[in-house]
Each structure stands twice: as C-alpha cells, then as structure tokens.
Structure 1
Amino acid sequence: MRRHLPGCRAAAVMWIAWLAVSPVSFAADTAPPSVLVQVAPVARHSLKETVTAFGRVQPDPDQATSITLKRAGMVSLLSVRLGQRVKAGQALLQFDTAPDALMQFQQAEAAANFARSDVERVQRLFKEQLATREQLAAARRGLRDAEARLHAQREVGNDRVKQVIHAPFAGIIAQLSVSRGQRVPADTAAMLLASHDALVVPLGLEQEDAVRVRSGQAVALASVFRPGVRVASRVGDVHAMVNPQTHLVDVYVRVPKKAADGLVLGEAMRGVITLNEKQVLAVPRSAVLRDDRGAYVFIVRDGRAHRVDVGTGLQADGYVSVSGEIKEGDSAITVGNYELTDGMAVRETAP
C-alpha cells in the first residue's frame, strides 16, 4: 500500500489552483495592444507664406532736407544736437560770413554801380551823337552781367555779415556735420532735417527671398527691443542691387504717419512680409511624420490608426497644409503617433 507524502499533496493543490486561473491570464495576455493618443480635426485654414527680415528706422529720403551753408564762413553758434526734435522756424545755427566772401560781394556791388554809371554816360553821348548804337548796347550788356553777378552774391548770402538759419519745417536732426566755432567752405552740408512723421524701415533680405517680394505686399513691423510696438504697413520699393555694406537686398517699408510718433530713428525693427496667403487643408505640425517613404499622417478610423501618405506645403502658425488621401473632418493623431504602426488600436484622450 502506497503512502502519499504531505508535500506531494500540497503541490497537487497548487497545480489545480493554477489551472483554475490560467484561462483568465491567457485572455488578458491575448488582448490587442492599444496606444493612448490625442487627435485634432483635419480642417481648412488660412495659411500665410512669410519671410522675416530686420532693419532700422530711418528718415524718408524723399521728405528730408539738407541745411546747406552756401558761402564760406564760421559757425558762431549751434543751437541743436543730433537726434533733437525741432519746430518749424526754430533757430538752428548762426553763421558768420568769411571776409573773402564779403569782399566778393563788395566787388560785385562796385562793378554793378560802375556799369550803371557807364550806361548813363553812353546814353548821354548817344543823344549827342558822340556814341554809336553798338556802344550803347555793349554798355547795357555789361550792366546786365554785373547785376547778375551781384544777384548771385546776394543769393549765397555774401551780403550778410551774420545770419541765423531757421528750420523750414518741424522735424528731427537726422545728421549733424558741423560744430560751434568750425570754419567751413562754401556749399557745406551742415545738417539733415528729417520730417518726424515721414519714416522708412529698409529691411535686408537674402537674394533668394528678395526675388519673391513685390511692392504692395503686407508687412508686420515690430520693435526688436519693444515687442509691444507694432506697425502694419506694406512693401514700398524693392532695390535691384545688393547693398555693398550688408550684402543683402534692401526692401523699403514706409511707416504710416499715425505710427511714426511711436518710433525713434535708429530703432531696430523686425519685419514679417507676407508673400502668399491661401485657404488650404491643414493639420497641426505635430501630426506630420516622415520616413524614407516621405511624409505621412495617422488617421483614426474605427478605433484604429491608419497611415495616410500626404504631400505637404505651406507651414504657418503651427499648421502644415496637406494633400492626398485625406479629407476635411478626419481625425489626425497629434500626440502618441510616434509609437504607432498601421492598423494599431488607439484610445483617444483630451489634450
């Protein structure tokens, strides 16, 4: 007669218990795997193709005036500084005429007086038939020439010992080339007066971007160091050459008058130029994946992820335009798509 050891009986009990629970474990192990994902609808969006460039606020050259000292002399008083705002009629500087220039006026004035007396003398002789008609004509011609030279001397101001030069309009001293006590030759540009409400921003673009820019395209300007300062404008002129200093192509953007008061000359600006704007079918950028076959998106259909190969286009504001076997209203997977394979079960969750 056989005897069963207590240890054998215990092992048999454990074996029976394992058989009782094993079907449940097998069922759990054979459940299809699924991935937790977030989705976004495929929808139509207005996307802009843009290019970004940088520049600095400058006076509009069409609205700036050079204050030129037409005669030689000395700046005896300078009343303004670089960058200063001035009012129309405000004194800018006092100028003393050089002695040589004064002497030129005096000589021209003496020559005109002599020519005037000579005409009177020849006229008396002509009446007495002691001078010919040709001599009278020559005397009158000499007077005209002498008076023209005298007028030219007055035009450049050689008849004035001192002169105070005033601002012809309200503006900003954009350039200053003289200092108090400085002696200057004739035709010296003393300063540049720019209209304070006529400003431009020349933006520097790479050549491949500049060829796509056209006059009239929308530009969003923003101050680099004051992001809250924003100006809406449009492209003015696109230069047809590379700036030799910056090696970029200059694109001029005019600042509207109502926005000019909020800017200062030399302020660094960022400009975003809108090259193109279209209504397109788009998905969030995170929904688009790429491999050796190209770009693709996972779409949720019947609780499963289905790979859809797509073509991509414009990218803006976090969206990418897509084309292919994809339609408006599809649910594109935006989070968790890196873990997926075609046909895998998914569970959607809110962002």
Structure 2
Amino acid sequence: MKVNWHLSYVKSLSLACACLVSGSVLGAEKFAVSEEQMRALGIKLIPVQDTAMGEVRSRYPGQVVVPPRSEQVISSPLEGLVTQLLVGEFQAVKRGEAMVRLSSPAMSQLQLQLLQASARATLARQAHAREQSLFEEGIIPQRRAQESQATLKEAEATLSQAKSELTLAGLTKEVMEQVIRTGVPSDSITLTAAQDGIVSAISVRPGQRVDAATAILNVTQVDTLWLDVQIPVNASLGVKVGARVDVADKQVSGRVLSLSPTITANNQFVVLRAEIDGAAGLLRPGELVTVEIPVESSGKAWSLPLAAVARNKDDSVVFVRTPDGFVAKPVKVQASAGQLVRVEGDIKAQDEVAVSGVIALKGAWLEEDGE
C-alpha cells in the first residue's frame, strides 16, 4: 500500500511540473503557476519587508594591529652592558616606571664632563660677580667686566650642553643635581617607560652587551587599536569612511578610518583600516578576528532569506508572486550574512517572494524563456 501511494505521489508531482512548464507564457519573465501546483511543489512565500540599513553585514577576516603612535621603542642611549631587566614580557607598566638597568663607562665619562662644566661655571660666576663689583666701584675698566661676563656665558653654555647629553642618555635632572652635589659620577643607566602600556617585546637578556641605539624592549598602548581588513574591490565601493564596524563574537566596535587607494596585480583587495577604542582586554595585537562591515545602498534595499535568491549565469533573480503565477525579477546582491542576504531590485514592500521550491520555479522560468 505504501509503495502504491509513493508511486501515486511521484506521478502527481511529475504531472504538476509538466503542467507548470507547459503553462501559458505571460511575458519574457512571467510564467503561470496555480495554487495546486504550488502545493505539489512545496512552494512557500514570504512578504518583502523594508530593512534598516546595516541589518545585513558582510564578514571578512581581519587582524588587530597597533597604531604607530601607540608603540614606544626603548633603546640603549650609549654603548654598555645590560645588568638587570626590571619587567617581563606582556607586563603592564606605568609612565616613569623603571624597566632596565645598564652599565656604561660612557655614562661616567659624561658625568665627569658635567662635573667639570659645573665647576667652571661656578668659578666663572664668582669671577663675574667680583669683576662687576670692582667695575661699579671704578677700580677696573668696563672691558674687564665685559670679558668676565663673556667667560660666564661660555661656561654656562658648556654646562647646558653637558646636561643635554646626559638627558639624551636617560639621566634625570634630579640625578644630575645629585652628581653635582656629591661630585661622584656613576656608570649606571636606568631606562623608564614614557607611557602607560604593556611590554610587548624584549630584545635583550641580562649580561648582553649592546651598542648605542640598540632596541631593548617595546612598550605598547592597547587602549586604541586598529583593524586591517582585506575586502574585494567591488565590495569596497559601498563602504564609507566613518562607517561602523563590529568584531564578531566580541562586544567591540569601531569606525572606518581609511581605505587603501591602490591595489597590486597579485592582490586584488582593498585594505580597510578601522580604529577600535576601549578594546583593552578584549583584543590583542596580532589577533586574527572576523569583522562585520555594513555596505551602504545606492537605492532601496531588502533583506531576504538566502534561499529566495536564484543564480542564473552571472545574474541573480527572485520569484515574485503574481495573480497568475510568478515573475522573475533581477536583483543585485549587496551583502550576505548567515542565512540572510541584502538585495536591491524592482521589488515593493509586501511583494510575496518564493523562499522554497525555488529550483523548480527556476526550471519553469528557464523553460518558458527558451533556455
């Protein structure tokens, strides 16, 4: 009995398809389908509803990168020996916190020059005060007072230069004053963080000798990060600077900063760059993520189930219900996400679109169209 019923169902379904294909032609894109044939083929309809912009978003892979302004490279100011690392990799540091100590004979030499310059400046200052007093009393000519003043300015310039060299070497003003006060130079250099952040890389080990300007470690701010996303050229035409982007599966969003104006012959992609604020603890530099990007529409956009769109060569169509059957209307797919797709086309609100049995409708449409 079940076999007979199955054969009967198959015969009725085949008859329905034959009747659908042989229906009267209503136009190049129209074909007739009755209610009975729709039930036999399992065709279901849904009404088209207007969608808010950005409801359907395209997804692309992206990478978290650090803006250049957020990364500080701590380098050795002088040739020396790394004696102690005070921080570890990926450790959070505060501005002014000590991170590494170096031992450098060049540092003690610079401090010796500071002591000599300071002593000359003190002597020149005293000599100028004495010569000025004698000049005011009329004991010495004005020329001697002017010569003492020139000597003082020269000594002060030399002292200022010595302090500037020590500042570039990482010595603070407080330590300089202590060296001048005690008269004892030191070969120790302590490098500190110039900003809050995390230690993203350490390039040396204790006991290692380094040259001047050798990179020792990197400090990175992670409050503001960038996303670099590669998207197809065609998709980039609908993306505007300032548009909101979201990181999938994370409570993180940002704004589009720029789109690369050029592409290469080997890589037909546009690099989209977005800025993410307040991502500390949620995103890490170098992390690979999925980015959702809205595509702006140039006309009326509609959200439909993915199953409602049929492909015909390089075109896409949807089947809209008419009083006598269906009409195939071409649409332009803007974006897709999951089981939803956003399209533009000659569709009106409350039009009924087929969302199942689309393959059968496509076959009937192509048969009617002579293909």
TM-score, with normalisation over the residues of structure 2? Answer: 0.66
Going from structure 1 to structure 2, the CA distance change for 1:248 and 1:192 (only over 3 Å counts) comes to farther
Task: Show CA shifts across 1:283-323 (max 9, x none).
Answer: 54433445589655444456x53334444453434335354
The residue identity in structure 2 corresponding to 1:233 is G
Q: What corresponds to 1:129 in structure 2?
A: 140
In the other structure, the counterpart of 2:230 is: 204
CA distance in 1, matches of 2:330, 2:200: 54
Q: Find the aligned partners of 1:282 and 1:339 in 2 and give their Cα distance.
A: 22
Instruction: Give the corresponding residue for 1:39.
Output: 44
- Aligned-residue Cα RMSD (Å) equals 4.0
Task: Please say if 1:221 is aligned against 2:247.
Answer: yes
Question: Which residue of 2 is the match for residue 261 of structure 1?
Answer: 281
Q: Match of 2:197?
A: 171
> Is the alpha carbon distance of 1:211 and 1:65 closer, same or farther for their aligned partners in structure 2, counting shifts above 3 Å?
farther
Find the aligned partners of 1:163 and 1:214 in 2 and give their Cα distance.
Answer: 49
- The aligned residue for residue 287 of structure 1 is 308
CA deviation string 1:86-135 (max 9, x = no partner): 45665422222x21331232134224423542554466567342763442
Shift of 1:267: 1.3
Report the Cα offset of residue 50 of structure 1: 4.8
Distance 1:177 1:268, change over 3 A: same
Instruction: Kindly state the Cα deviation for residue 215 of structure 1 after the two structures are TM-superposed.
Output: 2.6
The residue type equivalent to 1:129 in the other structure is: I
1:25-104 alignment, distance < 5 Å: 34=37, 35-46=40-51, 48=54, 50-86=57-93, 90-96=97-103, 98-104=104-110
| Mapped contact 1:66–1:190 kept (Cα < 8 A) | yes
Kept after mapping to 2: 8 A contact 1:44/1:280 = no
Q: Kindly indicate whether residue 352 of structure 2 is the aligned counterpart of residue 331 of structure 1.
A: yes
The answer as to whether partners of 1:95 and 1:162 remain within 8 angstroms in 2 is yes
Where in structure 2 are there 5+ consecutive unaligned residues?
1-14, 21-36, 177-184
Q: Residue by residue, what CA displacement relative to the aligned partner does 1:115-168 show, whole Å, maximum 9, x if unpaired?
A: 542554466567342763442232122212222123224423385432444445
Aligned with 1:202: secondary structure? Answer: strand
Name the TM-score, length of structure 1 as normaliser: 0.69
Letter in 1 for 2:341: Y
Moved more, 233-242 or 179-188: 233-242
Tell me by how many angstroms 1:77 deviates: 0.6
Secondary structure class of the residue paired with 2:212: coil
Partner SS, residue 89 of structure 2: coil
CA distance in 2, matches of 1:163, 1:293: 68
Q: Which has the higher helix share?
A: 2
Which of 119, 142, 152 is equivalent to 2:154? Answer: 142
Distance in 2 between residues matched to 1:196 and 1:94, nearest whole Å = 25
> Relative to structure 1, is the Cα distance of residues 180 and 205 closer, same or farther in structure 2, using a 3 angstrom cutoff?
farther
Which residue matches 1:25? none
Of Structure 1 and Structure 2, which has the larger fraction of its residues in strand? 1
Instruction: Compute the displacement of 1:43 (Å).
Output: 0.9
* SS class of match (1:276): coil
Q: What are structure 1's unaligned runs of at least 5 residues?
A: 1-28, 223-227, 345-351
Identity of aligned residues (%): 20
Paired residues of 1:44 and 1:279 also in contact (CA < 8 A): no
Does structure 1 residue 105 correspond to structure 2 residue 125? Answer: no
What is the distance in 1 between the residues matched to 2:325 and 2:219?
67
Q: Comparing 106-115 with 139-148, which one deviates more in the overlay?
A: 106-115
Whether contact under 8 Å (1:59, 1:174) holds in the other structure is: no
- Which one has the largest radius of gyration? 1
Structure 1 residues 239 and 138 mapped into 2: Cα distance closer, same or farther (>3 Å)?
Answer: farther
How many angstroms does 1:218 deviate by? 1.1
Query: Contact conserved, 1:95 with 1:163, CA < 8 A, in 2?
Result: yes
CA–CA distance in 1 between the matches of 2:336 and 2:270? 24
Superposition deviation, residue 268 in structure 1: 0.9
| Deviation of the 1:75 alpha carbon | 1.4
Question: Is residue 71–residue 186 contact of structure 1 (8 Å, CA) maintained in 2?
Answer: yes
Count of residue pairs brought into register by the alignment: 306
| Amino acid of the structure 2 residue aligned with 1:71 | L
Which stretch shifts more, 193-202 or 267-276? 193-202
Cα shift at 1:42: 3.4
